[in-house]
Amino acid sequence: MKQIGFYSATLLFFLFPVCFFIYKSFFGIWRWGEAFPVDPDARAWKVIAGEGELLSAVVVSVGIAVMVLILNLLIGLTAGKAFALHRFRGKVILESMLMMPLFLPALVVAAGLQLVFIRLGLADTWLGVAVVHLIPTVPYSIKLFKSAYEGIGTELIEQSMLLGGGAMDRFRHIELPQLIPAMNSVLFLTVVISLGQYVLTAIIGGGSVVTLAMIYYPFTRTADESVMSAFSLMFMMIPLITYLISVMVLKLFIPYRPSKKRRGNETPWN
Amino acid sequence: MKWRKRTEGLFLVPSILFLMIFGLGMLMAFMESLMDDGTATMGYYMELFRKERFMRSVLYSVWITAVSTVLSLVIGLLFVRVFKEKLKGGTGRLLVWIPMLFPHFVWAYLVFLLLNQSGFLSNLLGVSGLMAERTDFPVLVQDPGGIGIIVTYVWKEVPFVILMLLPVYASLSKGYREAATLLGANPVRMFTTAEWPFIKPALIETGAILFAFIFTAFEVPQLLGVTSPQMIAVLTYEWFYSGAWTDRPFAFAALLLAGALSG
């Protein structure tokens, strides 16, 4: 009974939207009072694939999202580690100040930063937009890495120090493998949040940094529903593809398989 | 661990730099909200309270935000409580993530496609013969009551609430519940004594994040709102970028007030 309840609720509210966009992208407009459309048509997807402006917007959006992700990893990892494993004066205050961006309007910070960025030459640039996208993302990254480091604890790290392990080896063999779940969450959150910023991008990008959000927005009123549905699905595909690529990249750096079963002879010291 | 070496203090440098950028943005905004021909004044703030359009916008935003936040929290909490075993991992967990993958404006467009007068739902009702005319379908998007905005936020934020509450429920000790049962607590008492104290901090934090976000967000009300009444972000964006240059201090002041209100 509970099973049925759970799946009907999640399928209807969480999976149905994706199916609806897929259906809509192939079947186009359903005029009121007419019969349900039955002939699929790939027209919308052809329009999407052939639109040069759209493809360059994908490049810009992904480029900015990757910059946001890298900066988030840098800030989140260092701050998360410091907050989880170290004691120092002013820790509580600093920690709560770093959560402030979640509770204050990002719009006003962006508008204030615009004045500074113009002088610094960061306005209308990818980097400027990436920096302003840090505001709604960094607090989450710090939280995620902090709880990941709390899970790792100090024992293994101290043990490796006693055994004379260097900081880089320690990171690669002890911390990184245990940070993967947190890194995946950070990846999804930052890429999705960065792709979804319209107003911050508009303010700092000043119309010359054209991301997907900048194109999507004005189109909602004019373009046809079929193309818009295909366009909507692209927002979901980008974080998924980024995730798959990062899994492959991480495999190059991490000497262990993500699986819990250790395969003895694959570890580097054997 | 204490700082072992001085160099370990370097771990705080990136986050402090981030904080400085954020602080700089706030500071510039605050200064802009005070400046009037080179002299500092609180005049813009005083005048804001006399602007009827602004006051209406504040009340409207508070209403929409409060309804969306409370509904998201209640539905999310009930969902986690009822289905927590299903959410532990696997397919169930993945399904909850789906709405998190879309930006808010895409979700707003989805709600528009489903609920506008000639949209999917209206069409279904028409074809099945339950409704004769499409004008019989109620105005649910771009409506003065903000129903479309609320539907979008609740639908989009419930998964967020679920994902914020899940770790708390996962770490909730069974011992307290068992003790409560043994001592003869009814379900209500069990909730108030063995659950509520533990979930309250997470619930308050999630609620505060949602309130602050929805209160000053631009994308959804821009798509699904009406020209009057307007939510704060839409009004201030207009003051920032399409109105006269002299409106800009008002926009800064209005957003800072909104921030103080939600903060």
Of A15, A87, A198, the CB nearest to B219: A198
Which tens digits make up the pLDDT trace of A218-234? 777 766 888 999 999 99
Supply φ then ψ for residue B39, to 5 degrees: -115, 145
Of A21, A81, A220, the CB nearest to B223: A220
Q: What is the pLDDT of residue A27?
A: 87
Chains A and B form CB pairs within 8 A to the count of 218
Q: Residue A108: its chain B contacts at CB < 8 A?
A: 25-26, 29, 216, 252, 255-256, 259
Q: Residue B21: its chain A contacts at CB < 8 A?
A: 113, 131, 134
In chain B, the percentage of residues whose pLDDT exceeds 90 is 42
Of B101, B253, B256, nearest to A106 by C-alpha is B256
pLDDT, average across residues B66-85: 93
Of B14, B109, B209, the CB nearest to A228: B109
- Cβ of B110 within 8 Å of Cβ of A20? The answer is yes
In chain A, the percentage of residues whose pLDDT exceeds 90 is 51
Q: Residue A197: its chain B contacts at CB < 8 A?
A: 103
Cβ neighbours, 10 Å, residue B187: 9
Q: Residue A30: its chain B contacts at CB < 8 A?
A: 120, 123
Measured distance CA(A137)–CA(A240) in Å, rounded: 18
Name residues 157-176 of chain B within 8 A of A (Cβ). Answer: 158-159, 167
Of A97, A105, A229, the CB nearest to B259: A105
- Cβ of B262 within 8 Å of Cβ of A110? The answer is no
Q: CA geometry: angle at B14 spanning A166 and A246, to 5°? A: 70
| Range with the poorest average pLDDT among A140-144, A239-243, B174-178, B191-195 | B174-178
Number of C-alpha atoms within 13 angstroms, CB side, residue B205? Answer: 16
Residue A126 burial by CB count (10 A; 0-12/13-18/19+): exposed, middle or buried?
middle
Q: What is the pLDDT of residue A67?
A: 96
pLDDT band at A35 (very low <50, low <70, confident <90, very high): confident
Of A13, A86, A103, the CB nearest to B208: A103
Interface pTM, i.e. ipTM: 0.88
Collapsing DSSP states into helix, strand and coil, what is residue B35?
A: strand
Query: Residue A7's closest chain B neighbor by CA?
Result: B92
Of B94, B97, B103, B157, nearest to A238 by C-alpha is B103
List strand residue ranges (DSSP E) for chain B, in order. Answer: 35-36, 39-40
In angstroms, the first-to-last Cα distance of chain A is: 51
Q: What is the pLDDT of residue A263?
A: 43
